[in-house]
Amino acid sequence: MTAMTPEEAVRHVLATDPTFAIQDVDVRGVTVKAFQNIPGTVPALLAAGWERHGNGKLDYLSYEDETLTYAEFTEAVYRMAHAMQDELGLGKGDRVAIAMRNYPELMILVLAISSFGGVVVFLNAWWTTEELDYALQDSAAKAIFADGPRMDRLLPLREKLRLTLIGVRDGEGRTALDFNALRQGAASDIAPEVEIDTDDDFAVMYSSGTTGHPKGVVQTHRGAVNAVFSWLLQSVIAPLVEPPEEGAPEPPRPSALVVTPLFHVTATHPLFLLSLPAGAKITLMRKWDAEDAVRLIRDNNITRLLGVPTQSAELMEAARRMGETLPSMDYIGAGGAKRPAAQVAQLAEVFPNAGIATGWGMTETNALGIGLIGDEYKARPEVAGKLHPPVQELRIIDDDGNAVPNGTLGEIAVKGPHIMRCYLNKPEATAQTVVDGWLRTGDLGTLDDDGYVTILDRKKNIIIRGGENIACLDVEGALHRHSDVLEAAAFPVPDDRLGEAVGAMVQLREGSKMTLAEITAFLDGHLAKFKTPTHLWTQHTPLIRGATDKIDRRAIRAACLDKQEAKV
């Protein structure tokens, strides 16, 4: 077979495979391209993947010493869906929250909730009680499934918010309702008969922004499934771009190791949801440990890992120590933050069978965006990637929303069926972000004549710590709770392991002093630990301001980093 270019391969598949046929559709008054023949909803992905999972017989979900076949997983989904309808009185449009670490129950619940037309509310498992309070009031979710640590943080809110709390794993026995009892008492194990429109809401995922409080990103079924099939298309064109050698064995069944939280799109969409129609097995880790990951990949023939750059770097170092090359791996991707350019070639050397990849997407885009893999990525380790075809559009715009010439710095804007419906309860923020169907991402970059996108900066005041977005205003708001803090500015500090760490400069009241240990202790319970500053600078004079008399965060950051470098 003669190798095709990626563009030729996409055109060939679109012309010959009805699964990936596209059409123009109207979504909220905007005409976009969308897949014509794919499942219309997220729960419909379960049935779409049945044959690929050995008609339900193949092992699908593994967690420590637990394994579920695809049929067992599907039965658990439908039983829980009926239990929520019959025992909890939940129905179409109701928002149901999930607050837990990466347990199998989380995956079951996502599909169970969406199976009866409910809306999944993903709660960050690292949030404090105060942060959970905000999200639960914002989402109006009344039923929350929680494990032990999250239950501890939710119980103080139960009476105030009139919450129905259902215990999962170590959260069972804390309230009158438990996950296992509900599932076992279900009256049916077949799919609920509910009409769900493809443009109905599927989920609310919270994404940190520049306004302090996180914004609830409302995703639709259409958005999620179009993202899933855009990634599935990549696996279909791969053998057309790089044809296998004659007589080569069939590629192994895809198998993914989930190493990032399932309350973020990096894990839910291109790993969990994609695994359904792709026929892939899913393995969950209780907690990230690089050497454990090496052993899991080696012993279970895992083919795919997608995490933050820190994790692939740590995996590489652990594999070197253990003398492993992990030949089953065909994909090692990074999202959530930019991978250091020098690391690309190093990863390719340690894992010669794997395609080293990078990707960029947002909660607001159902994680779909741009990416690059293999030799293309090794040759251009500084770029963010090319647009994943075929339903997206991308352009670089100026402040007025006009497209700028290739090579010109501007804001990245994307359009397609995968764009969020809105920010929950924030019409003004929605109107500012989505204009005529184009999502203004807040990321600044350039587009060259060959379609490669380079991301150079952020308009948004966000720190990306190990792939976790942290709003600077969120950190500053918590710092201002301290009676001795007059002003505060939070900003990213370069970090070799995490990419960025949280730094802060504060103006203190005259005569007061503050150490990093003291502010860390003060913020405990007010701010999630991953948001707490690990670098602190203090002064008794006002912070640097710009021409409009606003605090100049960039100038403050530069001055603090200069001081830090001078000490070194």
Contacts 24+ apart (CB under 8 A), 493-497: 493/534, 493/535, 493/557, 493/560, 493/561, 493/564, 494/561, 495/465, 497/310, 497/313, 497/314, 497/466
Assign 495 to helix, strand or coil.
Answer: strand
Tokens of 541: 């004079």
Q: Are 271 and 256 in contact (CB under 8 A)?
A: yes
DSSP for 17-73 reads -GGG-EEEEEETTEEEEEESSS-SSSTHHHHHTTGGGTTTTSEEEEETTEEEEHHHH
How many other C-beta atoms are found inside a 10 Å radius of the C-beta of residue 60?
25
Domain membership flag for residue 473: yes
What are the angstrom distances between the C-alpha of 154 and each of 15, 113, 207, 398?
52, 20, 20, 44
* Distance, first Cα to last Cα, the chain: 58
Q: What is the CATH number of the domain that holds 526?
A: 3.30.300.30
Domain membership flag for residue 8: no
Q: What is the CATH number of the domain that holds 181?
A: 3.40.50.980
Ranges of residues in the chain whose predicted pLDDT is under 70: 208-212, 457, 546-550, 568
Distance CA 118, CA 85 (A): 10
Domain endpoint, select from 173, 194, 215: 194
Domain membership flag for residue 89: yes
User: Helix, strand, coil % (nearest 5) of the chain?
Assistant: 35, 25, 35
Q: What does the pLDDT look like over 528-566, one tens digit per residue?
A: 999 999 999 999 988 897 655 567 888 899 999 998 877
The candidate with the shortest Cα–Cα distance to 491, out of 538, 535, 550, is: 535
The candidate with the shortest Cα–Cα distance to 391, out of 373, 368, 407, 360, is: 368
Q: What does the pLDDT look like over 413-432, one tens digit per residue?
A: 999 999 999 999 999 999 99
Q: Are 486 and 414 in contact (CB under 8 A)?
A: no
* Domain carrying residue 130: 64-194
Please, how many CA atoms are within 13 Å of residue 305, restricted to the half-sphere of its CB? 31
The candidate with the shortest Cα–Cα distance to 36, out of 26, 17, 22, 24, is: 22
Please, how many CA atoms are within 13 Å of residue 325, restricted to the half-sphere of its CB? 8
In this predicted structure, what is the pLDDT of residue 462? Answer: 80
Q: Are 313 and 285 in contact (CB under 8 A)?
A: no
With vertex at residue 9, the alpha carbon angle to CA 6 and CA 12, rounded to the nearest 5 degrees, is 155
Domain endpoint, select from 164, 194, 224: 194
Domain membership flag for residue 186: yes
Evaluate if pTM is beyond 0.75: yes
With vertex at residue 434, the alpha carbon angle to CA 433 and CA 440, rounded to the nearest 5 degrees, is 55
Would you say how long the chain is, in residues? 568
Domain count along the chain: 2
In this predicted structure, what is the pLDDT of residue 385? Answer: 95
Tokens of 336: 């959530």
Domain endpoint, select from 194, 221, 243: 194
Q: Are 78 and 46 in contact (CB under 8 A)?
A: no
Domain membership flag for residue 159: yes
In this predicted structure, what is the pLDDT of residue 566? Answer: 77
Cis, bond preceding 390 (omega within 30 deg of 0): yes
